[in-house]
Structure 1
Amino acid sequence: MSLTIPELLRNTAGNVQLPVKAGKEVVISPKRIVVVGGGAAGISFLKVVREFQEQQKDLNWDVVLYEHRDDIGGIWYEQKNKPDPPILPESSIYSRLRTNTPHPHNTYYKFPFPPGTDLYPIHTKLHEYMKSVASHFKLESAVRLRHNVTSAQWIGNSTQGYWRLRIERPITYQESSDWHSFSPLNQQIIPKDATHETIFENFDHLIVATGRYHFPHEGNFPGRETWLAHRNNLSNGSRDIRHSIWYEDATPYVNKTALVVGGGASAQDITRFVAEVYQSISKKSIYPPGGDIIRKARLSHFTRDAVHFEDGSFETDIDSVILATGYELRVPFLEVGGSLIYDPTVTSRNTTHIHPPPHLPLTSNGPYVRPLYRHTMSLSSQFPPTALFVLSFARHPPPQATAVAQSIFATRLIANPALVDPHRIKLLRELEEYEERLRNIGLNPDVSGHRLVDWNHDYQESSNFQESLINFLMERNVTRLPLRGSNHTYVEDWRRRMDTNPSLVVTNKNWLELEARGETEALLRGREKEEDWIELLDCLRALDGTKQPTCQASTPLQPAYISSGHNSCVVERR
């Protein structure tokens, strides 16, 4: 069942004070942890917990993951036949979407994609990969599909308490350790038209792993309704404005002129798929243009007969506007439970100098959820610091690698809360200093939100973010951490080379050129291990004249022929 944001809140708004004895009760174990969301972040947390439990044999944790859909995979699990606005789709994925990063960028340590997988695979391959991870690492028993968390309320104070979750699930649901017994392949267990029951469960710690691509941000463009109310005089057709979350394919835009607003990956994809298109961007996009695209300045406003831009220009032949304008960070079940306040007008402010410290709730203004220490741990005064962790709000690092680092950070602090300042003032002061540092370089944290910053001008913001989480633990003498990089560091060396914006752009450009010449199939053949794929990535970087650990490019930046053996990649002059 799909709902709009107001409906998500209205349907449970009367249940903020949850009845203690309503529904089905469960016994609280010594340490109960709930993960909400079955995408990359949630699966990453389960994987880290499994590895931590193997390391710490006396770890007495009961961990469960709730996913409201009928399969794991998060946004990579495509929803066919998306609903019309304002009903929110289950996923922002569209039919022809390919990753814009090479698939090793989206993998777990030593667990590569299957041999022969296209380096930039279609989205279904990402979904298959996530399912294979859950199966291979035996994570299925912790997953509860079609369990929709509608409210999470903290019962307690800033030092102790528990989470009270309200969950809707199919009334025919059967508790089982067999993952496949309640998969979408077995409809007699969970029929599509099943009625639902409400249960209540208590947990010590809550992991929010719902992702950041669910609640569209459309912006405020004056005159929108006036423009929509009139037909296009040139094409005599009806007009349409919708966010890219509702985009499925180019069919609705045949014989129409569209305006795509935005310069990110989705905007670039859509401009390539739609035949007649303008693109409005706020700054130079890092993605190469495709097709016959007319670049425009930032969208300003609408009038009855025209779409206007900030440089004073306007267009009168536009039929449809696709807003690839990003997403807001909303967590409805926290909002309903009174644990997160959504207020578009809220701004960050320094409070650590005030005595006694004022109440500091967890808030979201859309782009920015605050206060999150290192974008992960809540410092809200409503509950203890280790009660709530949020994964995958940081932009735009490699999803799996970053979620793993955040999960390592969270699990070690859950295991030993004494590692965190009990009064949170020291950590909050560090967050305030970080926000002030952003302001000093011209960035407003309330607008830039959780975008990672390249402080060292070395394009290592993604790796440095992961490293900062592990360093926090190392500084507090946490041992047995997975340090796989040089010089006793966390991030693997190949990721430091590849997980940078210049490397990703160069690799993508070179691969697409080779693909257009029909030369990529041979490069995929025989690559099975992680090392084989890393070799290919380094080879593609070598084509652009960068350092060449495994390849030799005789003429960088010029057309080249690439031949691949089982474990080799050689660049030669054509």
Structure 2
Amino acid sequence: MMNCQANHTPSKRICVIGAGAASLAVLKYLSQTSYFQSGSWSVIAYESRSKVGGIWCPAPPTDNPPLTPLYDSLTTNLPHPVMGYTEYPFPPSTPLFPVAATVQTYLESYASHFNLIPLIRFNVTVTHATWIRNHWRVTISTGEALEFDNLVVANGHYRLPNVPDIPGLDHWITTNMASHSAWYRRPLEFGRKILVVGGGPSGKDIAGEMRNHVRTVIHSVSGSVSQDDGLFKQRGRPLRFYDDGRVLFEQGIIEENIDHCILATGFQMDLPFFDDDTIRIGNVPLHPPLPPDLYNSRYHIFPLAKYLFPLQSHYPVCSVAFMTLLYRVVPFPIAEAQARAIVRAFADPASLDLEQEADRVLSRSRALIAAGASSPVQLAKAWRVCEAEQWDYRDELFAYAAESGDCPATKVTAWEKEMYANKFILRTAWVELEKENESQRWVEGIGEGGIQEWVEMMYRLLRYARDSEEPGEQRREFNEPSRQGSKA
């Protein structure tokens, strides 16, 4: 394994791929360093689209695959005080679970506020990146070939659809009986009986939205118990698609006369600008020991120190960082923490203990295997899920960055963890307030006095949600806001 060596050259050239939420975070922290401000570091980001925002920047589904899977009705599935950058809150009075357009405006505001736009070249795509001797050679869509000392890979992982390998599904796709949710924007004339496959946020949203527009909705979630609620049915994993519109599910249940299937089955990790010498595509070999190569299993990138830096032997570990590859985490604050760690590692590569990091990677693999990840694919899928570990991970990155003395060692607050744990309760209560046209009263003026006002508002909403479950007290919290000092 190649050790990171401190860079003693007077200039460090850094290339950031993408201009989504993660890229903006790392651009902010890189541009605030003394290295950048003194001119010893240069930073440039390449964005294939005309705006910042990444997945949050809307686009019609005309490309193959679409530029973004953003559908019209999408709202955040996290309250924005939890979801947003910790150093740049959403504006006062923002709806607690904002629509996608509000998030896009927020990201544009972030980029403007921290003067990041001059660091981005828009409508330029990175087409190839390879390590040559002592630098990264990056080719862009203008035909230019440029040299950089460091790369930050933040091109997102919601572009290349993941289509499950199920007998008969290919025929459904080629005959337009099935499509991936990446192409979904709004309920259309899909037919009278629709199947939605996938139990993630998009699958739940689309299945729920379809209930108001078609006669029968079947929501397929792997491992779920079959249930019928009138014209809404829940089924387990699909096992076979038949040419005549039938689908066989777990437990031997067959549904007939399905007009269309929407596959909300996620996306694959896609790094099209790297060749096999940089990262191999396929299942990760059995380990220990760690493989000498970096792998893209399509579900995760492996092995990475701190889920960021590639532990391989072909180029310096700290010459490249892969951002926000984790699932079921709070993405914007994770990006901030990773950005701070990237600054530290780029400035002082020797600060990363490679042997310790390799041991931690192997320990996590052993733990996941012991927990039931018995195949390479199961292990790959489990590797990317860090819901329970995300808080300690953020604290660890903050502590690592703070060792340089250039930034404080902040910690995740208790209220962030609590509100994340109660996100479904909060969202359900918020949707009810929206239906009653009362939601705006709850947030009016909230945030003008700082983030603590949002924290207090979310605690009030939790109490309101819990009180609403008790007969005779459904509206107590909302009808008596003055007792809580509420602005709602």
User: Partner amino acid for 1:323?
Assistant: L
**Corresponding position of 1:293:** 232
How many Å apart are 1:284 and its aligned residue?
A: 5.0
Select the residue among 305, 310, 329 that pairs with 1:378: 310
Question: Would the aligned equivalents of 1:271 and 1:291 in 2 still touch at CA under 8 Å?
Answer: no
User: Partner amino acid for 2:271?
Assistant: V
Farther off after superposition, 290-299 or 327-336 = 290-299
Select the residue among 345, 357, 364 that pairs with 1:434: 364
Identical counterparts, % of pairs: 29
Query: Partner of 2:432: helix, strand, or coil?
Result: helix
Question: Would the aligned equivalents of 2:293 and 2:314 in 1 still touch at CA under 8 Å?
Answer: yes
Q: 1:167 and 2:128 equivalent?
A: no
User: Partner amino acid for 1:515?
Assistant: E
Q: Which has the higher contact order (CA 8 A, sep 6+)?
A: 2
Select the residue among 52, 58, 62 that pairs with 2:33: 52
Give the Cα separation in 2 of the matches to 1:225 and 1:219. Answer: 10
**Corresponding position of 1:77:** 57
User: For residues 212 and 225 of structure 1, do their structure 2 counterparts lie closer, same or farther at Cα, with a shift above 3 Å needed?
Assistant: closer
Question: Would the aligned equivalents of 1:522 and 1:564 in 2 still touch at CA under 8 Å?
Answer: no
User: For residues 508 and 290 of structure 1, do their structure 2 counterparts lie closer, same or farther at Cα, with a shift above 3 Å needed?
Assistant: farther
**Corresponding position of 2:22:** 41
Give the Cα separation in 2 of the matches to 1:482 and 1:498. Answer: 24
Select the residue among 448, 471, 474 that pairs with 1:559: 474
How many Å apart are 1:261 and its aligned residue?
A: 0.4
Please identify which structure carries the higher helix content: 2
Give the Cα separation in 2 of the matches to 1:370 and 1:290. Answer: 42
Deviations 1:81-135 (A, max 9, x none): x127xx1110110112111111222322352222332211111111100000011
Query: Partner of 1:117: helix, strand, or coil?
Result: coil
**Corresponding position of 2:3:** none
Alignment of 1:211-360 (within 5 A): 211-226=156-171, 240-253=177-190, 255-274=191-210, 275=214, 276-283=216-223, 292-305=231-244, 306-335=246-275, 338-343=277-282, 345-351=283-289, 360=292
**Corresponding position of 1:447:** 381
How many Å apart are 1:555 and its aligned residue?
A: 8.0
User: For residues 311 and 524 of structure 1, do their structure 2 counterparts lie closer, same or farther at Cα, with a shift above 3 Å needed?
Assistant: same
**Corresponding position of 2:4:** none
User: For residues 95 and 351 of structure 1, do their structure 2 counterparts lie closer, same or farther at Cα, with a shift above 3 Å needed?
Assistant: same
**Corresponding position of 1:522:** 441
User: For residues 365 and 440 of structure 1, do their structure 2 counterparts lie closer, same or farther at Cα, with a shift above 3 Å needed?
Assistant: same
**Corresponding position of 2:95:** 118
How many Å apart are 1:325 and its aligned residue?
A: 0.8
Alignment of 1:88-167 (within 5 A): 88-156=65-133, 161-167=134-140
Question: Would the aligned equivalents of 2:78 and 2:420 in 1 still touch at CA under 8 Å?
Answer: no
Give the Cα separation in 2 of the matches to 1:204 and 1:228. Answer: 43
Structure 1: runs of 5 or more not aligned: 1-27, 169-196, 230-237, 353-358, 455-460, 485-489, 546-552
User: For residues 556 and 398 of structure 1, do their structure 2 counterparts lie closer, same or farther at Cα, with a shift above 3 Å needed?
Assistant: farther
**Corresponding position of 2:414:** 493
User: Partner amino acid for 2:66?
Assistant: P
Query: Partner of 2:318: helix, strand, or coil?
Result: helix
Query: Partner of 2:16: helix, strand, or coil?
Result: strand
User: Partner amino acid for 2:320?
Assistant: L
Give the Cα separation in 1 of the matches to 2:456 and 2:288. Answer: 47
Select the residue among 385, 395, 398 that pairs with 1:470: 398
Give the Cα separation in 2 of the matches to 1:363 and 1:222. Answer: 27
User: For residues 71 and 564 of structure 1, do their structure 2 counterparts lie closer, same or farther at Cα, with a shift above 3 Å needed?
Assistant: farther
Q: 1:481 and 2:413 equivalent?
A: no
How many Å apart are 1:228 and its aligned residue?
A: 6.3
Give the Cα separation in 1 of the matches to 2:118 and 2:173. Answer: 50
Give the Cα separation in 1 of the matches to 2:250 and 2:259. Answer: 19
Query: When the two structures are superposed, what TM-score results if normalisation uses the length of structure 1?
Result: 0.75
Give the Cα separation in 2 of the matches to 1:446 and 1:542. Answer: 39
How many Å apart are 1:473 and its aligned residue?
A: 4.5
User: Partner amino acid for 2:249?
Assistant: F
User: For residues 389 and 348 of structure 1, do their structure 2 counterparts lie closer, same or farther at Cα, with a shift above 3 Å needed?
Assistant: farther
How many Å apart are 1:483 and its aligned residue?
A: 3.4
Structure 2: runs of 5 or more not aligned: 1-8
How many Å apart are 1:531 and its aligned residue?
A: 2.3
Q: 1:64 and 2:37 equivalent?
A: no
User: Partner amino acid for 2:186?
Assistant: D
**Corresponding position of 1:183:** none
User: For residues 239 and 142 of structure 1, do their structure 2 counterparts lie closer, same or farther at Cα, with a shift above 3 Å needed?
Assistant: closer
Give the Cα separation in 1 of the matches to 2:170 and 2:457. Answer: 51
Query: When the two structures are superposed, what TM-score results if normalisation uses the length of structure 2?
Result: 0.88
How many Å apart are 1:210 and its aligned residue?
A: 1.1
**Corresponding position of 2:335:** 403
Q: 1:413 and 2:345 equivalent?
A: yes
Query: Partner of 1:206: helix, strand, or coil?
Result: strand
Q: What do you get for the CA RMSD once the two structures are aligned? A: 2.7
Give the Cα separation in 2 of the matches to 1:318 and 1:415. Answer: 57
Query: Partner of 1:334: helix, strand, or coil?
Result: coil
**Corresponding position of 1:198:** 143
Deviations 1:420-474 (A, max 9, x none): 24xx3332122111111111122342232311153xxxxxx32122112233445
Give the Cα separation in 1 of the matches to 2:88 and 2:229. Answer: 33
Query: Partner of 2:144: helix, strand, or coil?
Result: strand
Q: 1:393 and 2:335 equivalent?
A: no
Query: Partner of 1:536: helix, strand, or coil?
Result: helix
